[in-house]
Amino acid sequence: MALQTSGQISLDDLHVEAGGTSGTQCSMNDSDIRGLVSAAANSQMTFSSFYGASSAWTATMTVGSFINQFFGYSPSFSMGSMTDLTVDNLGNAPILDLYHNAGTNLNLVFSANVPNSGWSTLTIGSTVFSRASASYIYQFGQTFYTWTPVSNPFGSSGTKTITIA
């Protein structure tokens, strides 16, 4: 959820938005907090510069399908499209696939090594999947998150808002 757009913001608010734990030690110069506003290390920042800032990445998917068993986005199946494939809050991790497979698996695939940390939820439309509930595997330069068994969150067509936070 983005930070408020007016009023008083605390350092703890910034820390929580950046993915930290409320009440724990932090500073405005921490990279995750600076990352909310893309500020360089040791640069001058004001609390108001964080109005509306969000650690979440959001894109819109035009849902595609393949042989009526795969739904979502996957270039290898020539299905679907996304407005953004670079997840900037995960170190610009490039999304390779995001699709539901054969009635059981939801798969999020990056064409890079993405550590199993640094984000909490994948939201597809109104359906939320927690990172902690996924199986994770990194091999051959690709990172796979898979949730199973889950029902298809994409539907068969139309658009879905995708958020990683």
Partner 1 sequence: MYSYEVIIEDGHTRLAMTDPETGAYAEVQHKGELTDEACQTTLTNFFIEFEKILNPENNNE
- Is 111 near partner 1 (CB under 8 A)? no
32-40, 48-56, 82-90, 135-143 -> range binding partner 1 (CB under 8 A):
135-143
Q: How far is the CB of 55 from partner 1 (least distance, A)?
A: 18
Q: What is the rounded end-to-end Cα distance, in angstroms, of the chain?
A: 8
3-state secondary structure the chain: CCCCCCCCCCHHHHHHHCCCCCCCCCCCCCHHHHCCCCCCCCCCCCHHHHCCCCCCEEEEEECEEECCCEEEEEHHHCECEECCCEEHHHCCEEEEEEEEECCCEEEEEECCCCCCCCCCEEEECCEEEEHHHCEEEEECCEEEEEECCCCCCCCCCCEEEEEEC
According to CB under 8 A, which one of 50, 57, 70, 73 is a site residue for partner 1?
70
Asked if 79 interacts with partner 1 (CB under 8 A), we say: no
Q: Should residue 65 be labelled a site residue for partner 1 when binding is judged by CB under 8 A?
A: no
Q: Residue from 148, 156, 157, 161 that binds partner 1 (CB under 8 A)?
A: 148
- 71 lines the binding site for partner 1 (CB under 8 A): no
Total residues binding partner 1 (CB under 8 A): 21
Per CB under 8 A, 21 contacts partner 1: no
Interface with partner 1 (CB under 8 A): 67, 69-70, 101-102, 105, 107, 116, 130, 132-140, 144, 146, 148
